[in-house]
Amino acid sequence: MSHHDEHSPRVLKHPLISRLFHWGLIFGFLPAALTGFFIWLKPFGEDLQNLIMQIHIVGACILTISCILYTIFGLDRIVAFVRRIFTWDKRDTAWMLVFGGYPQKMLLGKTIPVPPMGKMNSGQKQMGIMMLFGGIILIVTGWSLYAFLPVAPKAVMYWFDMLHLVIGIFLGLCLFAHIFLGVYNWGEFLCMFGDGTQPLHEAEHHNPVWVANEIEPVKGDQTVRPGSQQAG
């Protein structure tokens, strides 16, 4: 028996460009969100608050550059993402009403039936909408506040700051939920942080509609089976 056991088919769920963007978010959005809380609360002394603000700006730069690069090099992924997050039907309503079965599983150990989901479940779609709009607003308001304070109308800056704070707090909290759920769903974690592939049966369990309708076998034999040899 080869050390790969029986070869179970795998599906590419997150291509390289998406995984790279995800890393960009980790090095950009995550430090910005964390430092953002401390910029708001200002519990520390002058030098540390200044350093925190500098980290916030560096994180914002990384976030902004990641978004720009993803738009240039991963436009098809963005189109697919936007189409998915805005496609809702009755199954999504039903999924939302039971919170996808997660609280029941986590708190009561009970597995309840949930409607079949596509590549993104309803909760992820909702998160996607919030992140898309919220992220754009944070980026626009954030750069305005950083670069244009003396020349911009004061009332506009006041409301930009208020928006930036409220959306920042909200998305920051969502981010902690996202990280928690990402770790809880260890298979997904390994997929996103690994090579982007997942066993097909795992994808069939979580994303049956996607597996049934949106994937296809890889053209040509691109897999290398251990021990196999090309004929002739």
Partner 1 sequence: MKGFQSQELTRIIDIDRKLCKGCDSCKAFCPSEAIEGKYGAVHRVDNEKCIFCGQCLVNCPFGVPQDTVDAVDQVISKLRDKQATVVGTIAPAVRVAIGEEFGMEPGSLVTEKLYGALKQAGFKVLDTNFTADQTIMEEGMELIGKIRHFALGEQAEHVGPLPQFTSCCPAWIRYAELYCPELLPHMSSAKSPMMMAGPLTKTYGAAEVWKVKPEDIFMVGIMPCTAKKFEASRPEFNSAARYWQTQGRSGDYPDIDVVLTTRDLAELFRRLNVDFETVAEFSDKDNPLAQYSGAGTIFGNTGGVMEAALRTAYFVITGTELDVLEFTPVRGLQGVKEASVTMKDAKTGKEVTLKVAVAHGIKQNVKPLLDEVKAGTSPYHFIEVMNCPGGCVNGGGQPINPMGTSWLDKAKAVLPWS
Partner 2 sequence: MARYDYVEKAVKVSRREFLGIVGVAGAILWTGAYVATDLVHDRNKYIKMRAQGIYKDDKKSKVRQSHNNQAVTDMYKKFAHNPLSHLAEELFHTKYVNRTRLV
Sites of contact with partner 1 (CB under 8 A)? 39, 42, 45-47, 49-50, 52-54, 56-57, 145-158, 161
Q: Residue 10's beta-bridge partner residues?
A: 199
Nearest-approach distance from CB 123 to partner 1, in angstroms = 34
What is the nearest approach in angstroms of partner 1 to the Cβ of residue 34? 14
Query: Closest Cα to residue 132, out of 179, 69, 81?
Result: 81
Among 67, 196, 202, 206, binds partner 2 (CB under 8 A): 196
Q: Which is nearer to partner 2, 76 or 89 (CB)?
A: 76
Nearest residue to 125 via CA among 203, 207, 11, 197: 207
What DSSP state is assigned to residue 10?
A: E
Among 57, 80, 139, 163, binds partner 2 (CB under 8 A): 80
Q: DSSP character for 11?
A: E
Touching partner 2, residues 19-78 (CB under 8 A): 76-77
Return the number of the residue (80 or 174) whose C-beta is nearest partner 2.
Answer: 80
Q: What single-letter amino acid sits at 160? A: F
Q: What's the start-to-end Cα distance of the chain, in Å? A: 25
The position carrying tokens 């980026």 is 139
**Tokens matching residue 187:** 């298979």
Residues in contact with partner 2 by the rule CB under 8 A: 9-13, 76-77, 79-80, 119, 140, 148, 151-153, 156, 195-197, 200, 211, 214-218, 223-224
